Structure 1
Amino acid sequence: MDELSAYALIALSAFLSATLLPGSSEAVLIGLLAAGNGEPATLVLIASVGNVTGAAVNWTIGRFLAQYEGRRWFPVDPDRARKARQWFDRYGVWSLLVSWLPVVGDPLTVIAGLARVGFWRFLLLVSAGKAGRYAMIASAWLHWPFP
């Protein structure tokens, strides 16, 4: 696979993984690193940007479609929304630093929109958490001895 394809793959995977669609951009990142496809720092940067962009879509859904929450087609089911609200109520905007977590992370970004968290504050906190996660994954993969 050429570098451009590797970068497009990680961007798409990271974006989709950050939306409410299922995905595992971490596995894609590790696969690309293992195969030597793309520069590690560039892969981390592109994954981070793609993932944060997906989270921004979630924030936008929460911010501008709040009146539809609870409807069958609303993208966050009530149980996940309840768990995300509990995190958000307990830790406030700082909970966005862990928006990369499975199960509650994506709904948390929707809840931030519902709670009308300012976009730039949202972007800063989500970017720090998501970029840090990708950097740690890449660093672990590149520096730990794997069989």
Structure 2
Amino acid sequence: MEAWMVAGVSSLLQWFALPQVGLSAVFVVAFVSATLLPLGSEPAVFALIKLNPELFWPAVLIATLGNTLGGIVTWWMGWWARRGTEKVTHHPANTNTWALRWLQRFGAKACLLSWLPIVGDPLCAVAGWLRLPFWPCVACMAVGKFARYITLTAFMLWVV
């Protein structure tokens, strides 16, 4: 690897180091982990709170905000994917599979499950694909993600 690349990566990692950056690092990790990239934000939230217990509520709120904004990006990715598919095929998108019918039946409330590992992020994309109402989806995403951060962080603090 080139020396400038190693120095750049090293600088980036130092910038994201939790004691120096803290809440902004939690925000970035939470945001990225809510897109379709496989990344978990809970360890970053837990590490910050373990180092600075007084930051419990700010860390949970910032992680919820970042993760919800990432879910919004994923919702829009689904919306644009459907639009692009319909534009290319000149046909309305097929929404007649059992999974899509299930999601349509529950509507925006299904986004309460956006906190689930593996299926949560694609759920946001499918909600956008189905054009479920945007603001109710955002509200349900935020509630689900907030509950996850509180539960998992409190559990990790209690166990560790």
TM range (shorter): 0.7 to 0.9
Identity between Structure 1 and Structure 2 (%): 35
Partner of 1:29: 45
Q: Rg: which structure is higher?
A: 2
CA distance in 1, matches of 2:98, 2:38: 18
Cα offset, 1:89, TM superposition: 4.7
CA distance in 1, matches of 2:26, 2:101: 31
User: What per-residue deviation string (whole Å, max 9, x for no partner) do you get for residues 72-121 of structure 1?
Assistant: xxxxxxxxxx8964752564332211111111111100011111111110
Larger relative CO (CA 8 A, sep 6+): 1 or 2?
Answer: 1
Q: Is the 8 A contact 1:87 1:95 kept in 2?
A: no
Question: What stretches of structure 1 move > 4 A for 4+ residues in a row?
Answer: 1-4
CA distance in 2, matches of 1:14, 1:89: 27
User: TM-score w.r.t. structure 2 length?
Assistant: 0.73
User: What per-residue deviation string (whole Å, max 9, x for no partner) do you get for residues 16-38 of structure 1?
Assistant: 10000111101111122222276
Matches within 5 A, 1:1-147: 5-36=21-52, 39-68=55-84, 85=100, 88-89=103-104, 91-142=106-157, 144-146=158-160
Structure with the bigger percentage of helix: 2
User: TM-score w.r.t. structure 1 length?
Assistant: 0.78
